[in-house]
């Protein structure tokens, strides 16, 4: 989508959005290529044994057509929600493509979520069907009685309690399917984002969201696609960073995607994967980069062309390490689930400025505004904001009109982050205006963790904040007031940690627990998290 350019000024000047009135993500990322180059490699899946299997666009088209037919036969119709509870795998891509071609709304769910986290998202979204593996099926079996709208669960690992064997169910389905004629503004996907209070909110995106991502993805990868490009990310495809920053844009651009879900990510394993499979492009969150920097450097320079990173500003030391090890400059980008890939650097056309995120991606109108939505002068601290309409911007928070309205000041979407823009349009991230915790590349909302903590019999009240951490950016810390009859101890702290780890997700449990006699509260009974954060060293 980006035009050829040698400078940022030329790129911004020549860029024009190309968003057709009728548009379908599934057709775009799969059927379009299958009709043009059916044997072109779309996906390479690397198993736990390190053996790889290539999948062509033709295979993805036929597979997704069979699945779309099956879902339709099961009663899944236009705008019905289809949950995809899987790690990186061919079936994950196929599940999304089938849902989009059917006109349904995909709901990606993190494979490491526990039953409580899954129950909330499945109830809130009203998912009618779910595609999962045996591990996910076991979690769904625990909560199935609380999911009256979930009618069908399809398992990629064969028969499981309460599930149908997906492979067996697809055998008799035809490999042809007439995709639903969707508008670019029709709903396509709900991605749950963590908020500062209460439960997570579902950001509902239209089919156009993929087209809205393309300029930022291409810019952050030094003008993707280029001959020989092949991309990979350790980020799970359930998150916007894996799904819409890598998988779907790469399929759109005809760039092969390497899929690999490490049981445990290590810097050494990442280097080896890049070397073994000739990966040329990668989205590596800052925590992954830090883990790779701590690992032994590869004996020879890897033949990579681009690395993009987002989630926090990279320092000069990490930028220089990237240049030494990879022979390239890591490009930073910025966005959030509601409005992603809106700021980026691009070493190919402009110099990196460590500590500065970059400039507005062409097509997106950004400004620093005050709380009322008035643009402030250059160099002034304020809210990082994006003007609507914008193809990458969400439609609404699912079933939450009040939160949707609160996200805007006039026509400006407020990201919730503060920053400064200079006269040339370079944007510096300063801090968050909310309480979301950034840990190991994940954005974690404290409200959901606090709710889970309250489910432990010993917990009377809990407050959760991020604590600065050199490796993870922040770690999750819980301040807990115990009920009468319970005494603080290391054993109780571990028990409470396990309670969250098994019910929500491994990346959300509090790595530190501090027992306190009381928590700072407002007059209306809300926890004052900024006071808790101020206690951190």
What is the C-alpha separation between 373 and 370, in angstroms, rounded?
A: 5
Structure tokens at 356: 């500065």
Q: How far is 419 from 342, CA to CA, in rounded Å?
A: 14
- What gap in Å lies between CA 57 and CA 76, rounded to an integer? 24
**Beta bridge partner(s), residue 202:** 192
Query: How far is the C-alpha of 216 from the C-alpha of 224, rounded, in Å?
Result: 10
Asked whether 414 and 400 are in contact (CB, 8 A), the reply is no
Please report which helix (H) or strand (E) contains residue 84, including its range.
Answer: strand 81-85
- The three-state secondary structure class of 105 is strand
Q: What is the model's pLDDT at position 445?
A: 76
**CATH classification code of 437-534:** 3.30.300.30
pTM for this entry = 0.88
Do residues 209 and 27 make contact, with C-beta atoms less than 8 angstroms apart?
Answer: no
**Going by C-beta distance under 8 Å and a sequence separation of 6 or more, which residues neighbour residue 285?**
234, 235, 241, 309, 310, 311, 440, 441
Q: Is 38-207 a CATH 3.40.50.12780 domain? A: yes
Taking residue 533's Cβ as centre, other Cβ atoms within 10 Å add up to: 17
Residue 429, pLDDT score: 86
Bridge-based pairing state of the strands 331-336 and 339-344: antiparallel
Note the pLDDT tens digit of each residue in 273-314: 999 999 999 999 887 888 898 889 998 889 999 999 987 777
Q: Rounded CA gap, 52 and 39, in Å?
A: 17
Q: What is the pLDDT of residue 404?
A: 97
User: Alpha carbon 93 to chain centroid distance?
Assistant: 15
Contact by Cβ (8 Å): 359, 344: yes
In this structure, how many other beta carbons lie within 10 angstroms of the beta carbon of residue 157? 16
Residues (pLDDT < 50) of the chain are 196, 523-524
Tokens 């033709």 correspond to: 58
List the end-to-end C-alpha distance of the chain, in Å, as a whole number: 46
Q: Is 474 helix (H, G, I), strand (E, B) or coil?
A: strand
Kindly give the residue spans of alpha helices, DSSP state H, lying in 103-151: 115-125, 134-143
Quote the tokens at residue 112. 């490491």
DSSP state of 21: S
* Domain-wise residue ranges, the chain: 38-207, 437-534
Residue 242: which of 326, 289, 152, 310 has the closest Cα? 310
User: What pLDDT was estimated at residue 196?
Assistant: 46
Q: Is the Cα torsion angle 517, 520, 524, 526 positive or negative in sign?
A: negative
Angle at 187 between CA 184 and CA 192, to 5 degrees: 130
Q: What is the enclosing helix (H) or strand (E) of 459?
A: strand 459-469
Chain Cα centroid distance, residue 357: 19
Write out pLDDT tens, residues 49-73. Answer: 889 999 999 999 999 999 999 999 9
Coil, strand, or helix at residue 498?
helix
Residue 263 is predicted with a pLDDT of: 78
CA neighbor of 259 nearest in space, from 269, 272, 273:
273
């Amino acid at each position: 989508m980006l035009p050829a350019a040698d400078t940022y000024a030329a790129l911004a000047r020549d860029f024009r959005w190309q968003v057709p009135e009728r548009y379908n993500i599934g057709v775009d990322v799969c059927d379009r290529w299958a009709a043009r180059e059916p044997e072109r490699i779309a996906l390479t899946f690397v198993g736990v044994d390190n053996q790889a299997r290539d999948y062509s666009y033709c295979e993805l088209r036929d597979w997704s057509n069979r699945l779309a037919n099956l879902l339709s036969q099961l009663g899944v119709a236009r705008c019905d929600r289809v949950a995809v509870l899987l790690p990186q795998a061919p079936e994950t891509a196929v599940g999304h493509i089938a849902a989009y071609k059917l006109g349904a709304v995909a709901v990606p769910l993190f494979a490491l979520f526990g039953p409580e986290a899954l129950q909330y998202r499945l109830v809130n979204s009203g998912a009618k069907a779910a595609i999962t593996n045996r591990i996910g099926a076991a979690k769904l079996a625990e909560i199935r009685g609380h999911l009256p709208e979930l009618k069908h669960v399809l398992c990629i690992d064969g028969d499981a309690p309460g599930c149908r064997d997906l492979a067996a169910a697809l055998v008799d389905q035809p490999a042809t399917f007439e995709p639903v004629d969707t508008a670019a503004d029709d709903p396509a996907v709900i991605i749950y984002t963590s908020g500062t209070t209460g439960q997570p909110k579902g950001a509902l995106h239209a089919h156009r969201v993929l087209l809205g991502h393309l300029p930022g993805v291409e810019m952050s990868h030094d003008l993707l696609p280029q001959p020989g490009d092949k991309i990979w990310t350790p980020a799970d495809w359930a998150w916007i960073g894996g799904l819409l920053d890598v998988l779907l844009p790469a399929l759109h651009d005809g760039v092969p995607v390497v899929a690999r879900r490490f049981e445990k990510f290590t810097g050494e394993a990442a280097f080896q994967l890049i070397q073994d499979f000739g990966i040329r492009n990668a989205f590596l969150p800052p925590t992954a980069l830090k883990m790779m920097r701590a690992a032994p450097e590869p004996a020879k320079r890897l033949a990579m062309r681009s690395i993009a990173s987002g989630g926090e500003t990279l320092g000069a030391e990490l930028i220089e390490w990237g240049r030494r090890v990879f022979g390239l400059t890591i490009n930073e980008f910025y966005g959030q689930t509601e409005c992603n890939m809106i700021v980026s650097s691009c070493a190919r056309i402009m110099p990196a400025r460590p500590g500065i995120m970059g400039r507005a991606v062409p097509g997106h109108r950004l400004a620093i505004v005050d709380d009322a939505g008035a643009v402030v002068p250059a160099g002034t601290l304020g809210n990082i904001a994006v003007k609507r309409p914008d193809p990458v911007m969400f439609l609404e928070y699912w079933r939450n009109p009040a939160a949707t309205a609160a996200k805007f000041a006039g026509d400006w979407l407020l990201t919730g982050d503060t920053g400064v823009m200079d006269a040339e349009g370079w944007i510096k991230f300063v801090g968050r205006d909310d309480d979301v915790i950034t840990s190991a590349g994940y954005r974690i909302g404290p409200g959901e963790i606090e709710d889970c903590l309250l489910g432990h019999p010993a917990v009377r009240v809990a407050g959760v904040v991020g604590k600065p951490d050199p490796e993870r950016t922040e770690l999750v810390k819980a301040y807990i007031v115990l009920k009468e009859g319970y005494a603080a101890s290391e054993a109780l702290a571990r028990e409470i940690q396990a309670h969250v780890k098994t019910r929500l997700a491994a990346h959300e449990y509090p790595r530190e627990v501090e027992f306190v006699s009381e928590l700072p509260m407002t007059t209306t009974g809300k926890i004052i998290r900024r006071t808790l954060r101020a206690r951190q060293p």
